[in-house]
Chain A
Amino acid sequence: MSDIPTELKYAATHEWARLEEDGTVTVGISDHAQSALGDVVYIEAPEVGLSVAAQEEAGVVESVKAASDIYAPIGGTVCAVNEALTDAPETVNQDPYGDGWFFKLTPTDAGDLDDLLDAEAYAEVCDDED
Chain B
Amino acid sequence: MADKTPLFDAHVAAGGKMVDFAGWMMPVNYGSQIDEHIAVRTNAGMFDVSHMTIVDIDGPDAEAFLRKVIANDVAVLAEYQALYGAALNAHGGVLDDLIVYRLPKGYRCVVNAATREKMLDWFEAQALTNMRIEHKPQIMLAVQGPEAIAKLIAATDLTELSIKPFFAAAHGDWLIGRTGYTGEDGVEVMLPVAQGLGLWQALLEAGVQPAGLGARDTLRLEAGLNLYGQDMDETTSPLISNIGWTVAWEPAERGFIGRYALQGERSAPAHKLTGIILEEKGVLRHDQPVQTDIGPGLVTSGSYSPTLQRSIGLARVPSGASGECSVDIRGTMKKARLVKPPFVRKGKILVN
Contacts and interface: CB of A to CB of B under 8 A. Distances in A.
Interface of A: 35, 38-39, 41-42, 44, 60, 62, 64-67, 86, 93
Contacts of A60: 330
Interface of B: 17, 28-29, 32-34, 214, 218, 281-283, 285, 303-304, 306, 311, 330
A42 B33 contact: no
Interface of A is mostly: mixed
A110 B311 CA distance: 39
Given A41-B283, A42-B283, A65 B28 contact: yes
B85 to A, nearest CB: 30
B283 A39 contact: no
Contacts of A62: 282-283, 304
B304 A38 contact: no
B33 A38 contact: yes
A30 B285 CA distance: 24
Contacts of B303: 64-65
Contacts of B214: 38, 64-65
Given A64-B303, A65-B28, A42 B281 contact: yes
A73 to B, nearest CB: 21
Contacts of A42: 281-283, 304, 311
B34 A39 contact: yes
B285 to A, nearest CB: 6
7 contacts: A38-B33, A41-B304, A42-B281, A60-B330, A64-B306, A65-B33, A65-B303
A44 B332 CA distance: 12
Given A41-B304, A42-B304, A60-B330, A67 B34 contact: no
